Amino acid sequence: MTGPSLSRRSLLRGGAAAGLAALAGCGAVAAAGPWAVPVPDGGSHQDVAVVRPPHRDLAIEHLRDLLERAEPIVERARSAGVFEGERFLGYEGSVASARAFVDGSHAASFDTISEARYHVRYVAETFGVAAAGLDDVSIGPSGAAQTGPAAGIDDLRGTLSYESDAPAETMVWIDLVESWLHAAMIAGKNAEVDREELAEKPERVRKKALARAVRNHERSVRFLSDARQFYRTFRARQSAPAPIGLTAARETYRERAQASSHDNEWYHERHTDEETPRDTAWNRLLTLHPGENSLDDAEWARRDGLSGFETVQLAEAAVEFQGFSTGRDAVEQLHGRQSVPKRLLLDAKRRAVDGAYRIAAAGDAFEKWLLRRAAMYLSKGDDFLTDGEILDNYPRAHALACYGVAVGVVDAIPSVASVVTD
């Protein structure tokens, strides 16, 4: 794998005090421990937001409905030998585990919602494999095993409006609602398939694409429901809501959630042993011209040979630090290089760390709370430089993408904070 040498890695790792001090130009960095920037005290989702009983009930009922649709098909698939082979070990156990969860008693809490999401994912994965193996997948929103995005995504996206008597607390709710809404949108796009296109592919590729679409449909339903319920809870808790100028802050969080969703879907889907058709939706999300809608089709993104550079974050970061005219131009010109230049990595990380420490030293409590997102991306970028599981030859490209997002977050913090404090 192409990547930095051990000495370079030690310079870039967040846990290397000397490397951090060199990057930040500040001796105080050495005391930061394993993080590239200090994670300040402040509100978290659990500190500020809540899960109401109706939210818990809907999450469990969705899982119950999924089980009722899945169990007969999973049993038919088992009898037909669909699950034979080592790669399917544990699939049927996920259904039994989810059934035990549904039949239990659970508090209205973040842990319950997270566990429901966990079971939905693995039951849907088993369900998708079973239905695809039996060729019993509906292309669209009908039948037991469905594909396509959850119904109602556009309606919710168009009706969101944030009014509050506590602006800083509202940012936590925006983070929750917008991140799950966009995750639902991405999962929904990954759930789209074209039956005619798949008919031209080998049987194994076709079955994997259908199974993935079923799984992502159920994930889209779960994520959309969570976004809607968090929004309803937020609105219900406002005793004297007044409009506040959160448009800029909302768009900033929507952009960050979008970037995170791209990351998660891309790296998850890379862990497959056989490529799906290039024209399926998740491939079209990955190499977009800056300013393009992330859910629109980008014709040039269909071309082969851009593995490792297929993230909009990388394109934006390369434009910022290398002087390319567009993200597309950056991706096309950098394609084929064995590694992202070390200078580009150092410049990106140095800019993020320097800005983060300025805010940590002089910012107010709300600005320091917003640094959590920058710290997450810096740590994620560090991890890519030493992660032996990256399935292509461009770990520095992934690290650069994360550092670029961290820079964007740090640069946006003053303007976001001013929106909710003016």
* pLDDT tens across the length of the chain (422 residues): 222 222 222 222 222 222 222 222 222 222 222 233 433 334 456 666 789 999 999 999 999 999 999 999 999 988 888 887 656 666 778 888 999 999 999 999 888 998 999 999 999 999 999 998 888 887 666 778 888 899 998 898 888 877 776 666 776 777 788 778 878 887 888 888 887 887 788 888 888 888 888 999 999 999 999 999 999 998 888 766 555 555 555 565 556 545 544 444 443 444 343 343 333 322 333 333 333 333 333 333 333 333 333 344 555 566 666 666 665 566 566 655 555 677 778 888 888 888 888 888 887 776 777 777 778 778 877 877 776 554 444 567 667 777 777 777 787 777 666 655 54
In this structure, the answer to whether residues 116 and 208 fall within a common structural domain is: yes
Please tell me the distance from the alpha carbon of residue 253 to that of residue 259, in angstroms, as a whole number. Answer: 10
In this structure, the answer to whether residues 212 and 78 fall within a common structural domain is: yes
Identify whether 278 is part of a domain.
no
Identify whether 225 is part of a domain.
yes
pLDDT of residue 24: 24
In this structure, the answer to whether residues 117 and 248 fall within a common structural domain is: yes
In this structure, the answer to whether residues 37 and 125 fall within a common structural domain is: no
Tokens of 217: 């449909």
pLDDT of residue 319: 62
Please tell me the distance from the alpha carbon of residue 296 to that of residue 319, in angstroms, as a whole number. Answer: 21
Identify whether 344 is part of a domain.
yes
For residue 14, the SS3 value is coil
For residue 133, the SS3 value is helix
Q: What is the domain extent for residue 163?
A: 51-270
In this structure, the answer to whether residues 219 and 348 fall within a common structural domain is: no
Identify whether 99 is part of a domain.
yes
Identify whether 130 is part of a domain.
yes
Q: Which residues of 49-68 are buried (b: 16+ CB within 10 A; e: fewer)?
A: bebeeebbebbbebbeebbe
The residue with tokens 């968090």 is: 230
Please tell me the distance from the alpha carbon of residue 235 to that of residue 86, in angstroms, as a whole number. Answer: 48
In this structure, the answer to whether residues 206 and 123 fall within a common structural domain is: yes
pLDDT of residue 375: 81
Identify whether 1 is part of a domain.
no
Q: Classify strands 163-164 and 242-243 as parallel, antiparallel or unpaired.
A: antiparallel
- The number of domains in the chain is 2
In this structure, the answer to whether residues 228 and 155 fall within a common structural domain is: yes
In this structure, the answer to whether residues 255 and 302 fall within a common structural domain is: no
pLDDT of residue 59: 96
In this structure, the answer to whether residues 205 and 228 fall within a common structural domain is: yes
Please tell me the distance from the alpha carbon of residue 389 to that of residue 399, in angstroms, as a whole number. Answer: 14
In this structure, the answer to whether residues 32 and 58 fall within a common structural domain is: no
- Please, are residues 3 and 339 in contact by the beta-carbon 8 Å criterion? yes
* Listed residues 223, 238, 270: the one ending a domain: 270
* Listed residues 224, 240, 270: the one ending a domain: 270
The residue with tokens 């319950």 is: 112
Identify whether 192 is part of a domain.
yes
In this structure, the answer to whether residues 221 and 152 fall within a common structural domain is: yes
Identify whether 281 is part of a domain.
no
In this structure, the answer to whether residues 331 and 258 fall within a common structural domain is: no
∠ CA 48-52-53, nearest 5°, is 155
Report the chain's terminal Cα–Cα distance, integer Å. Answer: 50
